[in-house]
Structure 1
């Protein structure tokens, strides 16, 4: 069993528990509250994780990696307090069906990576003023996108391929003036909203549109 009791946690910046075998009741979680300068937390492949711990003590956290946490069912709402978070990666979390609404409060967030995770919702995201990338390939359970997506003035890359339940896009998507690449290939989209014709740089949008 991993013991971090002897570590000087106050100076810890990166904690990589990639494919570790520690359990949900690991005592180290309580000790981790001392890691005030933590910037990267990598829990890739953490099989036993069902809910993320309270992360409010890690105000400086910039990257939270939860790739292939196959039993993860809940992200603690304390994630809304991570005002420095720039990247959230929950790809291939096969039991994660919802994202906390507090996620929409993360103004520093630049990338939201959701590929092959069966989430049913993307919360209202108007607070994510610096979001540049939403990658949601094969998130087949999502039936609609939030209207607030049109307020993401910095969004450059939007990947929605394989959204088999998604049949239409909100009209507000035409407000994405910074969009460079947009992919809805192999999705259920039947018709593109009229507002897409108002995008200032339509020639810069790269993507496959199998919507007919």
Structure 2
């Protein structure tokens, strides 16, 4: 199916699939596979992929090392209970929306995420084992940043003066964060700061 552009797999019982896919169509633009039953995903040939929705699946590692995904704009890995880390996105420079909410075993994210230039929306709410973020973040397009309910997060990173577009920052119920860095003053566009709890 070399011309397949859009693939949706949902409510498919995992027993129906005998083994992990090793190849997906290289012209695929959008992949939506909820409850994906395997630990990894073959993205090597999916350079045209724009959107990836893998809600509530079994993936442990999305990919290893930088993967060249120049068209990727949207990633939703919500409720990925087995995901422990988020990979290098330095070769996927056009991601605009990234959702990692309720990834309860996510412990760390690759430092490349901290300086992603096109990212507008980042939701890592309720990643209850997330302990550390990149030491410094400088996401110049970022408008919304959500860490609500990240109970294990111990430190909010330093921010660079380039983050003037950030307008909403949610740190509610981040009970181990004891202080915010003085560089938070650079967030001159901030309209909402939620520190409840």
Is the shorter-chain TM-score for this pair beyond 0.5, marking a shared fold? yes
Give the equivalent residue in structure 2 for 1:106. Answer: 92
CA contact (8 A) 2:10 2:35 kept: yes
Query: Which structure shows the higher helix fraction?
Result: 1
CA distance in 2 between counterparts of 1:50 and 1:192 reads 36
Q: TM-score w.r.t. structure 1 length?
A: 0.82
Structure 2 gaps, min length 5: none
Within 5 Å, give how 1:165-204 maps onto structure 2.
Answer: 165-172=152-159, 175-188=162-175, 189-202=177-190, 204=191
Distance 2:23 2:67 in 1: 21
C-alpha displacement of 1:210:
3.2
Q: State the 1:79 CA deviation.
A: 6.7
Q: Which residue of 1 aligns with 2:107?
A: 120
> Where does the alignment leave 5 or more consecutive residues of structure 1 unmatched?
1-8
- Higher strand proportion, which one? 2
Q: TM-score, normalised by structure 2?
A: 0.87
8 Å contact kept, 1:89–1:113: yes
Of residues 49, 56, 61 in structure 2, which corresponds to 1:61?
Answer: 49
Higher CA-based Rg:
1
SS in structure 2 of the partner of residue 169 of structure 1: coil
Name the Cα RMSD after superposition. Answer: 2.1
Contact 2:66/2:91, CA 8 A, preserved across alignment: no
Match of 2:63 among 76, 83, 90: 76
1:25 is aligned to 2:25 = no
